[in-house]
With several copies, the nearest count.
Chain A
Amino acid sequence: MTPLSRSQMAWRAAQDIDNGWYVNLGIGLPTLVSDHIPPGREIVFHSENGLLGMGPKPQPHEVDTDLINAGKGLTTLITGGSFFHHADAFLMIRGGHLDLSIMGAFEVSEAGDLANWTTEDPSFPPGVGGAMDLAVGARRVRVLLEHTTKDGKPRIKVKCDYPLTAAHCVSRIYTNLAVIDVTPEGLIVREIVEGLSFDELQQKTGARLTLANDWAPLVPKLASTATH
């Protein structure tokens, strides 16, 4: 059994983004998603610091220090994009105008509760950024996370232990082992990496899983060595 690489996880999430969607990608792993949009789909990426139509990192000759993304890295604007101020950027987020927000997570509960803003580490002050706004406001919230912590503890749980970002917001979970939907009937497994049984997946998960009748193997079409 080979877990998905970070790029493969991003690739998998990218497959589910429809043509024409307005999408916000969280800082870190989710930003890789934009590199894997299937050909022929036109997606408009939103950045909470006031951009629609955010493009890839600039080539050296394109660098403009006034043009950054939410992670404060340099970025570009594609043709058709626009600039606006922060209150409008968050009106878009909070008002349900985004089709999709993809975020990282520390933990997700079986009810779709999301914990991704603080581990309450006392060694530095907490920060929340736009995480709560995105979790509450986007039409769909999907998360990308490693299925377990580094020491093998589940991140998908009956109840989150870390402080919540928002309750009942996540609808789909992409991990390095599986694709899981959060439904009124609980967590439904749609895809599992090859070589891992459902029982083994359940053992790595802190909440009860149900295998979908039409489940499929999770086969990344991207070489696992692909990095970013």
Chain B
Amino acid sequence: MIDKQVDSIAAALAGIRDGATILSAGFGAVGAPDELMDGLLEMGVGDLVVVSNNAGSGKRGLAALIDAGRVRKVICSFPRTDDPRAFDAAYKAGRIELELVPQGIISERMRCAAAGLGGFYSPVGVGTKLAHGKEVREIDGKSYVFEKPLRGDVALLRAHRADRWGNLAYRKSARNFNPVMAMAAELTVVQAKELVALGDIDPECVHTPGIFVDRVVVV
């Protein structure tokens, strides 16, 4: 029998190590795995690379990890969201590295990794500062920059409903980065609001099939 449910945040995060690349879902606070991120702080791992659309807000989650000096680098499209004091302070102090990536390229680079591809040519950023140092290639008369896959050691997600196979359904705009990050990491961990019986999520409406999910914890 397959049962991906674990009974604690600690069990959900077990095995994550210093230096790990963490894909942290959510767009601002919506769809963000707050309790799992808090759990990372508690378990004490550091030297993390965090991929997330924003670089933390207020004093919890990613912001708390940054405040505690646990994050070496953030890969994001827009670091400053509501109340970005933790990132701002670390950035000004030179305590954190920032890789700024256009929002659609972050998600596409993760999908590229998920799909087993070696990279792709993107029209986004051509001729701008964000393409500095990147290979540029003309294809059928148009210029593109080469983008490489972005893979995580761990993806931390927040879902609305989950079953014991790890099938997931999200709610409204809380879906955002969750399905893409689910596919792009070695270990995919989900905090779900509700664990439902196998089959309760309509097979036509499974947003993330369980094949991408390793652990589910109900929060």
Chain A in direct contact with chain B (Cβ < 8 angstroms)? yes
Interface residues, chain A, CB within 8 Å of chain B? 19-20, 22, 40, 42, 44, 46-53, 64-69, 72, 77, 79-87, 89-98, 124-133, 136-137, 163-167
With contacts A67-B173, A81-B203, A167-B126 known, is A42 near B2, CB below 8 A?
yes
Contact of B1 among A42, A50, A86, A137 (CB under 8 A): A42
How many residues of chain B are within 8 Å of chain A by beta carbon?
70
Task: Output the nearest chain B residue to A41 by Cβ-Cβ distance.
Answer: B1
0/1 string, B197-219, CB within 8 A of A gives 1:
01101011011011110000000
Q: Are A136 and B126 in contact (CB under 8 A)?
A: yes
Task: Collect the chain B residues with CB atoms within 8 Å of residue A69's CB.
Answer: 173
Task: Collect the chain A residues with CB atoms within 8 Å of residue B55's CB.
Answer: 125
For window 1-32 of chain B, which residues contact chain A by CB distance below 8 Å?
A: 1-2, 27-31
B82 proximal to A (CB < 8 A): yes
With contacts A130-B102, A132-B125 known, is A83 near B204, CB below 8 A?
yes
For window 75-133 of chain B, which residues contact chain A by CB distance below 8 Å?
A: 77-82, 87-88, 91, 98, 100-105, 107-108, 110-111, 113-117, 122-130
Task: Collect the chain A residues with CB atoms within 8 Å of residue B125's CB.
Answer: 132, 136, 166
Q: Are A94 and B30 in contact (CB under 8 A)?
A: no
A/B interface sample: 7 pairs, CB < 8 A: A86-B176, A128-B77, A130-B104, A137-B123, A163-B128, A167-B126, A167-B127
Q: How far is the CB of B27 from chain A (nearest CB, A)?
A: 5
B180 proximal to A (CB < 8 A): yes
Q: How far is the CA of A48 from the CA of B101 in the complex (A)?
A: 15
Q: Are A132 and B130 in contact (CB under 8 A)?
A: yes
B41 proximal to A (CB < 8 A): no
Task: Collect the chain B residues with CB atoms within 8 Å of residue A49's CB.
Answer: 27, 30, 173, 176
0/1 string, B169-204, CB within 8 A of A gives 1:
011111111111001000000000000001101011
Q: How far is the CA of A44 from the CA of B127 in the complex (A)?
A: 31
Q: How far is the CA of A155 from the CA of B212 in the complex (A)?
A: 36
